[in-house]
Amino acid sequence: MKVHNLVYWKRGEIAIELILLILLGAGAYVGWNIGANDTANCVGTTVGCGLITFRNAVILVSIFAILGAVLQGQHVMKTIGKGIVKTDLNYLAVCVALMCSGFFVTLATFFRIPTSTSQAIVGGVVGIGLAVGAEVDFSKFVVIAESWIICPILVMALAYGFMHIVIVILGKFSTKSLLFQQAFGWLAILSACYVAYSMGANNAGNAVGPIANLDILHPKLLLLIGGISIALGAATYGKKVADTVGKGITPLDIPGAFVAQVSSAFGMHLFSMLGIPVSTSSAIVGAVVGVGLVKGLRAISKRTIVTIVLGWLLTPTLAAASSFILYTLIEILTS
C-alpha cells in the first residue's frame, strides 16, 4: 500500500508541475504578444524617423520593460488578478483566458495592426468569468473601458499642446546646430525608454495577473517572467507593427517623435499608478495623431486610423467570446 501511495503521490506531483508549466507558458505567450505588438508603441516613432536602428531600439525596450514590470507592475496585476472577477478562477479557466487573449493579439500583429493586449486580456477575463459563473465586477470593467477612451484623448491633447510649445522653442534656436540636433535626438531616445518602462509597468500585469491569484509563484517572480516575455516578443516579432506606428499614421521628424513618446508614456504611467490597464497602442496612436494634427488633418492617414480603431473594438470582443465558448465546450466534453 505504501508503494502504491508513493506512486500516486509522484504522479500527482508530476501533474501539478505540468499544469504550472502550462500556465506559465500561457502567461509567457501573452507577454510575448505584448512585446511583439507594443514594441512599436515604444520605438516605432523613433525608428520611423531614422533616429535609431530597430536592433538597438529592441535592446532599450527589453531593459526598460523588464524594469517597469518588476518595479511597478504590481498595481495592474492586482486589478487583472482580482479586480474584475471576484471569484477565484481554476487553472483551466486561467489558461483558456490567457490563450484566447494572446491569439487575437498574435493575429493583429501578423496583419501589422497595433492592437491592445490590455483590452484582449480584460475581455478574456470577463468572458471566462461569465463562463464559470463567477461574480464579475462590471462597475470596474466600465471604469477600465472608459480609460480606453479617455487615455488616447488625453495624450492626443497633451501631444498637440506640447508640440506647439516645441515648435515655439525650435523657432527661437537654430535647428541647423549640430549640438541642438543631437540634444533632441537624445531626448527622443530617452523618451522611448520612458515609454518602454511605462509599458512594462502597465502590461506585465496583463500577462501574469490571472496567474497571480493561484499563489503558485511570488508576484515579483511572475512580473519578472512577464517582463522577460515582453522583451522576447520585442526581439523576435516586433518589427511588423513598428512600421505602422512609425510611418503609417503620419510622417514624424525627431521633435515629433519625442513629443509623441513623452505624451504617451506620461498617460500610461499615470493610469499604471491608478492600477488601470490601458492600451499602450491607443496611447501612442493618440499621441501620434496629436502631433500630426499640428500639421493639419491632411497629414493624418485616416485609413490607417480606421483600421487601428476596428482592431481595438474587435480584440476585446473576440477574446471575451472565444474564452466563453472554448471553456464552455471543454466543460461539456469533459463532463
What does the pLDDT average to over 154-173?
A: 87
Q: What is the pLDDT of residue 256?
A: 81
CA distance 213 to 185: 43
Which set of grid coordinates corresponds to residue 181? 540636433
10 — pLDDT class (breaks 50, 70, 90): very low
Query: Above pLDDT 70, what percent of the chain?
Result: 84
Cβ atoms within 10 Å, residue 15: 10
Question: CB–CB of 241/114 below 8 Å?
Answer: yes
Average the pLDDT over each of 109-123, 175-189, 237-251, 292-306 and give the range with the smallest value: 237-251
CA 187 to chain centre: 23
Q: Please state the domain count of the chain.
A: 1
What does the pLDDT average to over 12-18?
A: 61
Query: Domain containing 269: what range?
Result: 2-334
Q: What is the pLDDT of residue 7?
A: 42
Q: What is the pLDDT of residue 203?
A: 80
pTM of the entire predicted model: 0.73
Q: Which residue has the cell 490567457?
A: 98
Q: What is the pLDDT of residue 224?
A: 92
What lies within 8 Å, CB to CB, of 265 at 6+ separation is 191, 194, 195, 197, 198, 283
- Give yes or no for residue 176 having a pLDDT over 80: no
Query: Above pLDDT 90, what percent of the chain?
Result: 11
45 — pLDDT class (breaks 50, 70, 90): low
- Give yes or no for residue 299 having a pLDDT over 80: no
Q: What is the pLDDT of residue 134?
A: 83
Q: What is the pLDDT of residue 66?
A: 92
Inter-axis angle of helices 178-212 and 91-110, nearest 10: 150
Rg (CA), the chain: 21
CA distance 323 to 11: 29
Question: CB–CB of 208/79 below 8 Å?
Answer: no
Point out which residues pair with 85 in neighbouring strands.
Answer: 136
- Give yes or no for residue 131 having a pLDDT over 70: yes
List, as one string, the DSSP characters of 184-221: HHHHHHHHHHHHHHHHHHHHHHHHHHHHHTT-SS-HHH
Q: What is the pLDDT of residue 4?
A: 45
CA-closest candidate to residue 275, choices 205, 197, 213, 194: 205
Q: Is 53 helix (H, G, I), strand (E, B) or coil?
A: coil
Q: What is the pLDDT of residue 316?
A: 86
Mean pLDDT over each residue of the chain, to the nearest integer? 80
Per-residue pLDDT of 308-332, as tens digits, reads 778 778 888 899 999 999 999 998 8
Per-residue pLDDT of 78-97, as tens digits, reads 777 666 776 677 788 888 88
Q: What is the pLDDT of residue 2?
A: 46
Per-residue pLDDT of 193-251, as tens digits, reads 888 898 888 788 878 888 887 777 888 898 999 899 988 888 887 766 655 555 556 66
Q: What is the pLDDT of residue 79?
A: 74
